[in-house]
Amino acid sequence: MKKKLVSAVLCAAMTATMLAGCGSKPAEAPATTTDTKTEAEAPAADDAAAEAPAADDAAADDTAAEAPADDTASGEVVTIGFAQVGHESDWRTASTKSCQTVFSAENGYDLQFVDCDNDSAKQIEAVRGFIQQQVDYIIIDPIVSTGWDTVLTECEEAGIPVIVIDRTIDDSDKYVSWVGSNFKTEGLAAGEWLKAYAAAKGMEDVNVLVIEGSTGASATIGRTDGFKEIADAEGWNIIDSQSGDFTQAGGQEVMESYCKSYEGQFNVVVCQNDNEAFGAMEAMKNAGVSYGVDGDVVLISFDACTAGLEEVMAGNITADFECNPLAAPFVEDVIKTLQSGGTPEKEVFMVEHWYVKEDILSDITVNGEKQELTVVTQEIIDAQY
């Protein structure tokens, strides 16, 4: 693709964005889960077109049906650099696969993929490498939310549009679009669910241990803040909150130390992703602590990947708050919009569902909006990523 065209596209998009006064952080309350995921809505794991989830943004509705990127249609390959966080979780694997499927050679793309191994310096270096290669677009899933303005200015000066996915960038607005989840809403949903569940089960005291995600990641910050808001309002006791780095090994290590330090003192464990929950389950099992719907400890998780939902259905994870990793079709939509001279949405929120095994509650109210709880079935698991 011609560099001049990209520069013009970037200038137009940036100008339009500034004129529209965009550049704010993601809105507090995306329209999320008033509907239950049906079979027709569910993504099919190996099919890029069917992979497109329903985002709550009009720009995202027609992705699967559209033709490939304009340059592809004219026979020119579109080069994309993708600086991915790493490979720490099932969620990350699904995110990588989504991008590699959508931005494949057969779809007319040359995807330069860098696994940054959860190393922020390596991620900045990867972006600079893409600038040197003069790629057409750069996709960044920011490991941490700060420290971005300098390198994004370099991208802007090179005329390369940047699209941010999943986690947010909080100290720079020099990107065209962001596609991802409202992590604070996920944390609020977990808190609202626990509030309703504790009341329904007659739990008198709520004593919580939190296993956070990676420090400085907006996914960690949002989920922590959202859950804490409800915990503070309800007067729950958050006994401890430590990072498990979004990994199974990290979750297990933190939970092993919690089991020793707080034996008999906790009845809720909040893991900020499924892989941490798997590690925490192993640690609790080894320590003789029962968890899940029939256990002594309520186990809350985030992501709701296939393996997480299997644990929900088995009754081991009590509730799982989805974080949808299938952003790539919407990123392609952004690219097509740019190539046709349009202005993409500054923010595109993924639709997410809240999963449970028991149907003692049918819905919760989050941000003043009623949201359904979805009871996990085998059909849902089979359609999940």
List all residues 6 or more positions away from 299 whose beta carbon is below 8 Å from its beta carbon: 269, 271, 277, 280, 281, 291, 292, 316, 317, 318
| Options 51, 166, 212, 332; binder of ligand AHR; rule CB under 6 A | 166
CB of residue 100 to ligand AHR, shortest distance in Å: 17
> 248 pairs with which residues across the strands?
none
Are 303 and 322 in contact by the 8 Å Cβ rule? The answer is yes
Site size for ligand AHR, by CB under 6 A? 12
CB of residue 179 to ligand AHR, shortest distance in Å: 12
Which one, 216 or 295, has the nearer CB to ligand AHR?
216
CB of residue 124 to ligand AHR, shortest distance in Å: 18
Which one, 181 or 367, has the nearer CB to ligand AHR?
181
Are 112 and 133 in contact by the 8 Å Cβ rule? The answer is yes
Helix (H) or strand (E) holding 208: strand 207-212
CB of residue 333 to ligand AHR, shortest distance in Å: 20
Q: What is the DSSP string of 146-206?
A: SS-HHHHHHHHHTT--EEEESS--SS---SSEEEE--HHHHHHHHHHHHHHHHHHHT----
**CA distances, 312 to each of 31, 112, 254, 285, 302 (Å):** 24, 36, 21, 16, 11
Which one, 78 or 124, has the nearer CB to ligand AHR?
124
Residue type at 87 in one-letter notation: H
Q: Does 273 bind ligand AHR (CB under 6 A)?
A: yes
CB of residue 98 to ligand AHR, shortest distance in Å: 13
Per-residue interface string for the shown chain with ligand AHR, residues 340-369, x marking contact by CB under 6 A: ------------------------------
Which one, 108 or 250, has the nearer CB to ligand AHR?
250
| Distance from C-alpha of 242 to C-alpha of 250, rounded to nearest angstrom | 10
Q: CA-based angle 159:163:165, to the nearest 5?
A: 160
CB of residue 253 to ligand AHR, shortest distance in Å: 16
Beta strands of 244-368 (E only): which ranges?
A: 268-271, 298-303, 319-322, 347-349, 354-356, 363-366
Of residues 45 through 84, those in contact with ligand AHR by CB under 6 A are: none
Which one, 272 or 337, has the nearer CB to ligand AHR?
272
CB of residue 93 to ligand AHR, shortest distance in Å: 9
Q: Does 219 bind ligand AHR (CB under 6 A)?
A: yes
| Options 37, 97, 167, 353; binder of ligand AHR; rule CB under 6 A | 167
User: Coil, helix or strand for 65?
Assistant: coil
User: Coil, helix or strand for 305?
Assistant: coil
The secondary structure of residue 376, as a DSSP letter, is: -
Which one, 92 or 195, has the nearer CB to ligand AHR?
92
Residue type at 46 in one-letter notation: D
Token pair 């990947």 in the structure block, residue: 305
CB of residue 323 to ligand AHR, shortest distance in Å: 5
CB of residue 86 to ligand AHR, shortest distance in Å: 8
Which one, 163 or 206, has the nearer CB to ligand AHR?
163
Which one, 244 or 329, has the nearer CB to ligand AHR?
244
End-to-end CA distance of the chain: 32
| Options 192, 212, 303, 311; binder of ligand AHR; rule CB under 6 A | 303
| Options 291, 302, 321, 354; binder of ligand AHR; rule CB under 6 A | 302
Of residues 86 through 105, those in contact with ligand AHR by CB under 6 A are: 88-89, 91-92
List residues binding ligand AHR (CB under 6 A): 88-89, 91-92, 166-167, 219, 246, 273, 302-303, 323
